[in-house]
Amino acid sequence: MKLTPLYGEHKKLLARFAPFGGWYMPISYEGILAEHKAARESAAVFDICHMGEFVFRGDAAELDSAVTRNVSSLPAGKSRYGFLLNDKGGIIDDLIIFRTGEEEFMIVVNAATAENDYEVLKKRLMSIESQPLSLSLPISHESQPLSPSLTDISAETAKIDLQGPLSRDVLKETLGIDTALKYFNFAHFEILGEKAMISRTGYTGELGYEIFINSSKAVELWSKLLSDGRVKAAGLGARDILRLEMGYSLYGHDIDENTTPAEAGLDMFVDYDKDFAGKKALLSRKAAGAAKKKVAFKSEGRRSPRAHYRILSGGKDIGEVTSGVFSPSLSCGIGLGFVEASLPVISDIMISDGGRVELKAKITDAPFLKETSLRN
Amino acid sequence: MDIFYTKDHEWVKVEGRSGVMGISAYAVKQLGDITYVELPEAGKEITKGVVVCTVESVKAASDIYAPVAAKITEVNSALESAPEKMNASPEEEGWIAKLEISDPDASKGLMTAAQYDEFVKSLG
């Protein structure tokens, strides 16, 4: 089991741990509800060092052919959320691509899938003539473009997320960084004498930032942020509730290799105006009609729907819950799941564990929370 | 009133044939924030070891077992809207049910408070 550079800090805070994507991660410190509240009302800091970061140096058109988003049209200083697809159009991973230069991109991926993502991207991005063999050849002309390269910088990169309506104030007053960064924009700043990247992104639905800094500074940055009385340490338990209240998918639960972006209701993160791996299969699957469709639902009462519970309509089993929690913001159960795509529009459903638990639920729009500080 | 504990972390306070049951401070700490309690029905007869009710936390749903054989005489309906009382006061305000104990020798096989403390310590 892998440990992040902040493991010792979590131990000091008496965190509860659990395995997650091959890592031993903090699930909660003071309590999931208190940590959720901090992120919604004040600010919370999350250790997200387990996620993977790669740097691609090369032609944007190459990267365009590997992922679903158009990166050629992405300006430097901005990022886009998209997918890496298999040849059947299924999702290998969801990721964010940051354009850090004309021919330089940072790609942030999930922890459990990072290793495979790297292999897939390497195959797609390194054309035959630029395999290591060519590196030993002398470069005859200075004007010749550099060989493309893909580097895994996960080990030396710490990712610390600061999320919550007060996070901009915390950046300003505790780190001395006064920024008006807009959603899905990023910039480099000096933090603790180190060049760090701050991105206005997150997984909570609140105003917030993802900070990428050299791993050697992780402990110092973490402690500095927590020295601000408005900031609480929050674990993956709170993060899961926060993301689900926004209807965000979690890889391995709500999306996977057998699910296309269209089935998952995430087709807006696929740019069909260019070619990319998996596009052909996506189009033919769309033409044939999707087998399943994603739904978001709210259940009555405080009882929590949970992953793998069945979704019933008129007594008939029509699908499965992929994520479910008790929403502290709404005081009811919420969840995501898939139902048969051929069914007419339904509103009233039942969520069942196949035994004693039967919850009345209604299909609704995501996000479940409409009013947050996300775009403040 | 004497208090006894089970290995599954329920407690029962016994005074003659009347009792009160709930789950221990250790149990609620393990569960984390409790968000829902499925209370049993008053009047129900329970035998020792059967599932009495379910408690849900932000992490999981857990079954609560009967510490003794009894008839449920009253349930703590305050937990329906305020399940967090179980976290705040697991062995007082967070009680689950009042009981009319069937077995005169009900504490047999249960742990005393001191024994339970030792047991919890042994769990690390």
Nearest chain A alpha carbon to B28: A31
Chain B residues touching A27 at Cβ < 8 A: 59
User: Over pLDDT 90: what percentage of chain B?
Assistant: 90
Q: Tell me what pLDDT residue B104 has.
A: 84
Which of B105, B103, B14, A11 is CA-nearest to residue B3? Answer: B14
Which of A150, A129, A133 is CA-nearest to residue A63? Answer: A150
Query: Are A196 and A211 within 8 A, CB to CB?
Result: yes
Q: Tell me what pLDDT residue A135 has.
A: 47
Give CA A238 to chain center in angstroms: 15
Q: Which residue has the higher pLDDT, B60 or B5?
A: B5
Give me the phi and psi of A170, to 5 degrees please.
-65, -45
* Cis upstream peptide for A305 (omega within 30°): no
Q: Is A142's pLDDT higher than 70?
A: no
User: Over pLDDT 70: what percentage of chain A?
Assistant: 95
Q: Tell me what pLDDT residue A133 has.
A: 46
Q: Is A10's pLDDT higher than 50?
A: yes
Q: Which tokens go with A372?
A: 């947050």
Q: Is A130's pLDDT higher than 60?
A: no
User: Is B56 close to A32, i.e. CB distance below 8 A?
Assistant: no
Q: Is B61's pLDDT higher than 70?
A: yes
Which residues does A281 contact at the CB level (< 8 Å), separation at least 6? A85, A87, A88, A89
Query: CATH number, domain at B86?
Result: 2.40.50.100
pLDDT band of A145, cuts 50, 70, 90: low
ipTM for the predicted complex comes to 0.81
* Cis upstream peptide for A367 (omega within 30°): yes
Question: B97 - beta bridge partners?
Answer: B21, B75
Nearest chain B alpha carbon to A328: B35
Q: Tell me what pLDDT residue A144 has.
A: 53
pLDDT digits (tens, 9 = 90+) for A308-353: 999 999 999 999 999 999 999 999 999 999 999 988 888 999 999 9
Q: Which residue has the higher pLDDT, A91 or A140?
A: A91
Query: Are A39 and A206 within 8 A, CB to CB?
Result: yes
Residue range(s) defining the domain that contains residue B51: 2-122
Size of chain B in residues = 124
Dihedral sign for Cα A170, A173, A176, A182, please: positive
Cα A32 to Cα A39, B43, B58, B82: the distances in Å are 11, 35, 7, 16
Q: Tell me what pLDDT residue B44 has.
A: 95
CB-nearest to A302 from B32, B35, B59 is B35
Q: Is B107's pLDDT higher than 90?
A: no
Q: Tell me what pLDDT residue A146 has.
A: 66
Chain A residues touching B83 at Cβ < 8 A: 302
Q: Tell me what pLDDT residue A131 has.
A: 47
Other C-beta atoms within 10 Å of A351: how many?
Answer: 25
Q: Tell me what pLDDT residue A250 has.
A: 98
Indicate the residue type of A300. E
Mind telling me how many Å the CA of B114 is from chain A's nearest CA? 25
> What's the structural domain count of chain B?
1
pLDDT digits (tens, 9 = 90+) for A234-289: 999 999 999 999 999 999 999 999 999 999 999 999 999 999 999 999 999 999 99
A135-139, A211-215, B29-33 — which is least confidently predicted? Answer: A135-139
Average pLDDT score over residue span B16-26: 96
Mean pLDDT of chain A: 94
* Domain annotation for chain A: domains and CATH numbers: 7-49+154-245 (3.30.1360.120), 52-151 (3.30.70.1400), 291-376 (2.40.30.110)
Q: Tell me what pLDDT residue B1 has.
A: 81
